[in-house]
Amino acid sequence: MKTNRKDFIKSAALIGLGGLSMGLEAKTLFHNEAVSNSVAPNSIQQNSVAPGMGKFDLPLLGYPYNALEPYIDAKTMEIHHTKHHQAYINKLNEALEKEPTLKTMELEQILKNLALQPDSVRIALRNHGGGHWNHSFFWPLLKTNTAMGARFTKLVNDSFGSAEVFKKDFEKAAMAVFGSGWAWVILQNDKLKIVSTANQDNPLMDASVNPEYKGKPILGIDVWEHAYYLKYQNKRVDYVGAFWNVLNWDQVELNCKS
């Protein structure tokens, strides 16, 4: 996870050569253009999205592992980040080694076009590319003591009638995921919609379970047991309830921007 000086210089040089568009694309992938105070400088984050750089690196969290206590414990965050997320990245990089032409593609483009990818790596891209994208999207969504912003509030009222109904529906969707997966809020035709996906699928993917589930991800919750088991064991309902205390509404608001 450490970015050493050499890598930093390499990243900086590539950014310089690659021009501005790469930086903008990278920021778009993460929907986090204005959270540079909560994540590392974008130049260090480049390898986490890495179009054309050959491999993906683990993005920094931008906050300490204990920052979400007591709702999400430090040990869970550390293992989730350094072991689970890293494992998706390692396996994604292995897949790219088999199909080097993919190294020039943005991860988001790969996931949106899974059907076009070579048979030899399609499942790996779906599972591990999805795993990398989903966790990279998830970490900036976690922060304590933020409040729902104006843009999201309006969308919620237009789409669900009230924040109370929205929260209840989202919790229900997170509870209804059978086995491992994610519940999401997506933007679809200017309305918010709550959907869920299995494993590491996400609403970007052409291979996702249902075309009605496709849209722009606004927020998501990881309901794999690895996200909560150390603290909550089998009580997913408590983890889902606690999620509202660590949801970074500032990031949600940014994600609502077109």
Please work out, in degrees rounded to the nearest 5, the angle formed at the alpha carbon of residue 3 by the alpha carbons of 222 and 200: 20
Q: Is the dihedral of CA 237, 241, 246, 249 positive or negative?
A: positive
Backbone torsions φ then ψ of 106, nearest 5 degrees: -70, 145
Q: How far is the CB of 187 from Mn ion (least distance, A)?
A: 23
Q: How far is the CB of 226 from Mn ion (least distance, A)?
A: 5
Measured CA to CA in angstroms, residue 208 lies from 1, 89, 105, 132 at distances of 29, 20, 20, 16
Measured CA to CA in angstroms, residue 174 lies from 21, 27, 207, 238 at distances of 36, 27, 21, 11
Q: Which residue is nearest to Mn ion (CB)?
A: 222
Crossing angle of helices 236-246 and 163-176, in 10° steps, is 140
Rounded to whole angstroms, the Cα distance separating 47 from 49 reads 5
Which residue, 154 or 226, has its beta carbon nearer to Mn ion?
226
- Nearest to 143, CA basis, from 218, 64, 196, 229: 64
Q: How far is the CB of 222 from Mn ion (least distance, A)?
A: 4
R_g of the chain computed on alpha carbons: 18
Q: How far is the CB of 85 from Mn ion (least distance, A)?
A: 7
Rounded to whole angstroms, the Cα distance separating 107 from 199 reads 17
Q: How far is the CB of 76 from Mn ion (least distance, A)?
A: 10
Q: How far is the CB of 180 from Mn ion (least distance, A)?
A: 8
Which residue, 222 or 253, has its beta carbon nearer to Mn ion?
222
Which residues form the interface with Mn ion (CB under 5 A)? 222, 224
Which residue, 81 or 155, has its beta carbon nearer to Mn ion?
81
